[in-house]
A and B are shown apart, each in its own frame.
Chain A
């Protein structure tokens, strides 16, 4: 029941976000960056729709490999492609001046990976599912490194670093909270599932807002 409510809440928030910021999709002059973020949110929307549809049709939750999980992977792959493919080459020139920020940013993937350790150690999932879940979560782990790095890098007079900082901070919050949410789902801790899904759903809308706002400030 809580599982179904959290998927429904996520679906609702994603749809609201995509409608509120629909000009990201339909304005061909917009940069690719917010479109990829919107694609990521759309992947989660479809994944949540898959979960909700399964509940409506079967009146129960599915335990095992399900396509909704690929929606989540697709979202974090989109965020990774934004961070690594587009933003990192603009923000980080591989100079020694930014070395300490790269080191600090490693903490994000460590934290996200460490949240999975209880899953491997104590859950009732088959080992194949645990490994699959962790491998599927690798895009989120890698994306968290770049998002944290882009959040803490100094702007050095480049307005676009500051412009997309709120987006990057929100992305880090999303990556950590979604990891916690998935772990809580596996352990079926219902109140925790609800609370984490509220954080995740809010982060998804905020992600679209800050992506759009960041690009608008960036291109002034």
Chain B
């Protein structure tokens, strides 16, 4: 069933689209970017298939998922954030939530697709690892780009090299995660985004506390 990924996307997106109609503006934006993340996941899957079949034919699955797909997926996820930052707003709070939404939407679609493809070998432990670690990883990578763009957009000369540096950082983080998660050291891969998320959450909590105190 070649179009299974599209079936999955429709099943997930349809309720979210219906929800968007009755949601308030902020929630509607969040849901909208989550749907965008789901669509980007489909585009990335097709793009990676083309790269695997036509360009990187000699690479095995491990090297494909650690050298090629991190770059393509992070670039594709960054496109909507870049669009918003350039044409709509560069407010950090808005980019922050939108970047997280795209990452979460991407992770939902990716996990669902992988689940269907490996239905015989999944387990609750697999679900916990993929659900928490993969979802967080994709969100953190897109978040990194989103927050960074809000900082470097201030001057044009800083924007392009700064954006490239952010994409590189996101791609290498993604590659390291993929490397560990496919190896005997799966637990390191699982803990990496969770640890990063806890540090990020603590930092934001401290910052919010300082702002409230002031």
**Chain A interface residues toward B at CB < 8 A:** 26, 28, 32, 35-36, 39-40, 42-43, 46-47, 49-50, 53-54, 56-58, 62, 64-68, 70-71, 73-75, 77-78, 80-81, 84-86, 89, 139
B residues 5-55 in Cβ contact with A at 8 Å: none
- Chain A residues within an 8 Å CB radius of B152: 32, 36, 81
Closest Cβ neighbor of B164 among chain A residues? A77
Closest Cβ neighbor of A65 among chain B residues? B67
- Chain B residues within an 8 Å CB radius of A71: 168-169, 172
Interface of A is mostly: helix
B70 at interface (Cβ–Cβ under 8 A)?
A: yes
Q: Is the CB of A78 within 8 A of B179?
A: no
| CA A36 to CA B160, docked complex, whole Å | 13
| CA A105 to CA B67, docked complex, whole Å | 36
Q: Is the CB of B172 within 8 A of A39?
A: no
- Chain A residues within an 8 Å CB radius of B165: 39-40, 43, 74-75, 77-78, 81
B197 at interface (Cβ–Cβ under 8 A)?
A: no
Given A78-B161, A81-B161; A56-B71 close (CB under 8 Å): no
| CA A73 to CA B168, docked complex, whole Å | 8
Bitwise, B150-191 to A at CB < 8 A (1) or not (0) is 011011011011101111110111011001101111000000
Q: Is the CB of A70 within 8 A of B171?
A: yes
**Chain B interface residues toward A at CB < 8 A:** 62-63, 66-67, 70-71, 148, 151-152, 154-155, 157-158, 160-162, 164-169, 171-173, 175-176, 179-180, 182-185, 203, 207
| CA A70 to CA B170, docked complex, whole Å | 11
Q: Is the CB of A36 within 8 A of B169?
A: no
Which of these, B151, B161, B173, B180, contacts A57 with CB under 8 Å? B180
Q: Is the CB of A70 within 8 A of B151?
A: no
Which of these, B161, B169, B175, contacts A42 with CB under 8 Å? B169
| CA A75 to CA B164, docked complex, whole Å | 10
Q: Is the CB of B158 within 8 A of A32?
A: yes
Q: Is the CB of B157 within 8 A of A49?
A: no
Given A35-B151, A80-B161, A81-B162; A49-B176 close (CB under 8 Å): yes
| CA A28 to CA B211, docked complex, whole Å | 12
Which are the 4 A-B pairs with shortest beta-carbon distances?
A85-B157, A74-B168, A81-B161, A46-B172
Q: Is the CB of A57 within 8 A of B185?
A: yes
Q: Is the CB of A53 within 8 A of B155?
A: no
Which of these, B67, B148, B158, B160, contacts A67 with CB under 8 Å? B67
Given A46-B172, A53-B180, A67-B70; A85-B164 close (CB under 8 Å): no
Q: Is the CB of A53 within 8 A of B162?
A: no
Which of these, A56, A77, A86, contacts B185 with CB under 8 Å? A56
A50-B179, A56-B185 known, 13 other contacts, Cβ within 8 Å: A39-B169, A42-B169, A43-B165, A43-B172, A54-B66, A57-B180, A65-B67, A66-B67, A67-B70, A67-B175, A68-B172, A73-B168, A78-B165
